[in-house]
Structure 1
Amino acid sequence: MFGERSTTDEVLAGANLKGKRYLVTGVSAGLGVETARTLAAHGADVIGTARNIAKAKRATEHVKEAAWANGGSLELVEVDLASLASVRAAADGLVEARKPLDSIIANAGVMACPFGRTVDGFETQFGTNHLGHFVFINRIAELLKPGGRLVNLSSTGHRFADVDLEDPNFEHTPYAEFIAYGRSKTANILFAVEFDRRHRDRGVRAAAVHPGGIRTELERHMSDDDLEQLIETINEGNAAAGKAPFEYKTIPQGAATSVWAAVVAPVEEIGGLYCEDCHVAELAEEQGLRGGVQPYALNADRARALWAKSEQLVGETF
């Protein structure tokens, strides 16, 4: 029914989400704000997390208006994914509140930033995009109801690189912004694969999604020349595959696959898989940044190994 140009409101047309509760990370800009808006506008109670609560409050004024008008609500919670102390404190507060969740949408992230380290010493992109979410989600996983879902936002950028379990923090490898981004986005998929395996017997499933190319704050570390070169690379691959040139999505189109996977998609069809354009993506082993998912990102053995490595790095077992 839906495709690459579907919007959030089209995906949720006619849906009544009153009594449903969703958690969305990264609601201070872009896709996170739009995801929260459309859920709240259909009556859902939404918990939105952000590192900068003042910024999130400004960005979500219209979300609150949509919630009030349609019987939903929005609650903001401070979470800095680059600090495990912040992550753990927020997760503990949510668990203590004992409010069950229908879905968690792990939307927050950083992209192609200069080399840096999180508060806990992890490479910034791996630490924020994967390890911060790994700890946060696992600590609140018990709140997901039977029938609940985890949706991890990944990217076609996972095709830049598989995870490196021997040197996840670039201690021995020369740093490259997009290699680091690719590793973190592959990790987002592998986390969903293993989370799905561990929780499906209790009726909770997980999937990863690629939102598509959208102009958001995620690109703030990239120059116009960087973006132009990236699009040229994508178009070369598209031309070789006989596909149309790249086009940006709008933010409502970009958030549609997240909402589709969290609310609408048949859960047995998406569990443990990678989705794009509101459908399950096909395996695609060829190189280049076009559609599909690399097989290494769905490898169950790699997913288990990443889980074990992540536990080792954060000093916590789930």
Structure 2
Amino acid sequence: MTRIFGAESTTDEVLDGVSLSGKRILVTGASAGLGVETARVLAARGAQVVGAVRDLAKGQRATTEVRAQAAHGGGIELVELDLASLASVRTCADALNADGRPFDLIIANAGVMACPQGKTVDGFETQFGTNHLGHFVLINRIVPLLKPGGRLVNLSSAGHRYADVDLNDPNFDHTPYAEFTAYGRSKTANILFAVEFDRRHNDRGIRATAVHPGGIKTELARHMTDEATDALIESINAAQLDAGLPPFTYKTVPQGAATSVWAAIVAAPEEIGGRYCEDCHVAEISLGEGLRGGVQPYALDPEHAKALWAKSEEMVGERF
């Protein structure tokens, strides 16, 4: 009988009784928050985790408990990756390809949120460049390492509901900048990337999906003031009330990472391929305003996903 998981399920509950011995899994952003928890539960079930981190020293400190709990042949090794620099992304991909060991799963967990306006090393708007374009180049460059039957899990957010991607002005060159509009664009891009990646690779049994982890107190919100956080929660609760739903509550980190490992390992591949998941289930289309559950249809549109892919190739100067 299939077990049913939900918003309060934890990583350990989702992977209870699951052996990942012999599996090799790439997790980006493995030096804080959800990335550390994801790496911990995977290594504890026997997986060999490759944690991609911007700061190797910080990553070593952050993953002490991952190494302590590793079991059944599991473990973690770290590689350097700065998603805001395509030179760093390409160096990381080249090193992984040179190593040659394949991956069963890629969990694209790293990201930034609600940053002040800025640019990456390559001149891209910070959130779109880091959250989408950095992962776009990394994953496409190492896709030969992804085994047939493997999966890609992109961490997106209910924040995708703030904004669709703007393929005419991705860097806010002609549009007034707003932190959450930029975040929304990048999180929509994470979903659309999964949609098109799934279409391109499902003939090898490789499936891709995007997930919303929920609201969790992690380093991701470091750019937000207490006042901005309070205002955001008030707006969410207003939308929840209008929809007849209970008020917002934070998830714990193990609850937040549960949907990632559920979609990566437990869910049926045909269920999650090209979809958007939340609270350990596939989300329904939802057109309402605000940050309630569900996914906006523009984030799953296959033609839109193809257009974003082409625009991303143009921006990074590579064809995949």
**Shorter-normalised TM range:** over 0.9
Whole-angstrom CA distance in 1 between matches of 2:84 and 2:95: 18
SS of structure 2 residue aligned to 1:164: coil
Whole-angstrom CA distance in 2 between matches of 1:52 and 1:171: 30
Q: Deviations over 1:166-212 (max 9, x none)?
A: 00000011110000000000000000000000000111010000000
Paired residue for 1:127, among 126, 129, 136?
129
TM-score, normalised via structure 2 length: 0.98
Q: How does 1:212-231 map to 2 (within 5 A)?
A: 212-231=214-233
Structure 2 match to 1:260: 262
Q: Which residue identity lines up with residue 280 of structure 1 in the other structure?
A: V
SS of structure 1 residue aligned to 2:224: coil
What is the percentage of aligned positions where both structures have the same residue? Answer: 73
Q: Which residue identity lines up with residue 188 of structure 1 in the other structure?
A: N
- Tell me by how many angstroms 1:142 deviates: 1.1
Q: Deviations over 1:203-244 (max 9, x none)?
A: 101000000000000000001110110001000010001000
Is residue 2:35 matched to residue 1:32?
yes
Paired residue for 1:299, among 298, 301, 313?
301
- Tell me by how many angstroms 1:129 deviates: 0.2
- Tell me by how many angstroms 1:106 deviates: 0.2
SS of structure 1 residue aligned to 2:201: helix
Q: Which residue identity lines up with residue 259 of structure 1 in the other structure?
A: V
Structure 2 match to 1:61: 64
Task: Report the aligned-residue RMSD.
Answer: 0.5
Q: Deviations over 1:4-25 (max 9, x none)?
A: 0000000000011100010000
Is residue 2:118 matched to residue 1:107?
no
Structure 2 match to 1:45: 48
Structure 2 match to 1:8: 11
Structure 1, gaps ≥5 residues long = none
Structure 2 match to 1:315: 317
- Tell me by how many angstroms 1:70 deviates: 3.4
Q: How does 1:281-300 map to 2 (within 5 A)?
A: 281-300=283-302
Q: How does 1:153-172 map to 2 (within 5 A)?
A: 153-172=155-174
- Tell me by how many angstroms 1:300 deviates: 0.5
Whole-angstrom CA distance in 1 between matches of 2:128 and 2:285: 24
Misfit runs of 4+, over 6 Å: none
Whole-angstrom CA distance in 2 between matches of 1:62 and 1:123: 34
Q: Which residue identity lines up with residue 261 of structure 1 in the other structure?
A: A
Q: Deviations over 1:263-301 (max 9, x none)?
A: 110011000000000000000011111000000000001
Q: Which residue identity lines up with residue 56 of structure 2 in the other structure?
A: I
Structure 2 match to 1:189: 191
TM-score, normalised via structure 1 length: 0.99
Q: Which residue identity lines up with residue 240 of structure 1 in the other structure?
A: D
- Tell me by how many angstroms 1:98 deviates: 1.2
Whole-angstrom CA distance in 2 between matches of 1:256 and 1:57: 23
Q: Which residue identity lines up with residue 204 of structure 1 in the other structure?
A: I
SS of structure 2 residue aligned to 1:104: strand
- Tell me by how many angstroms 1:115 deviates: 0.5
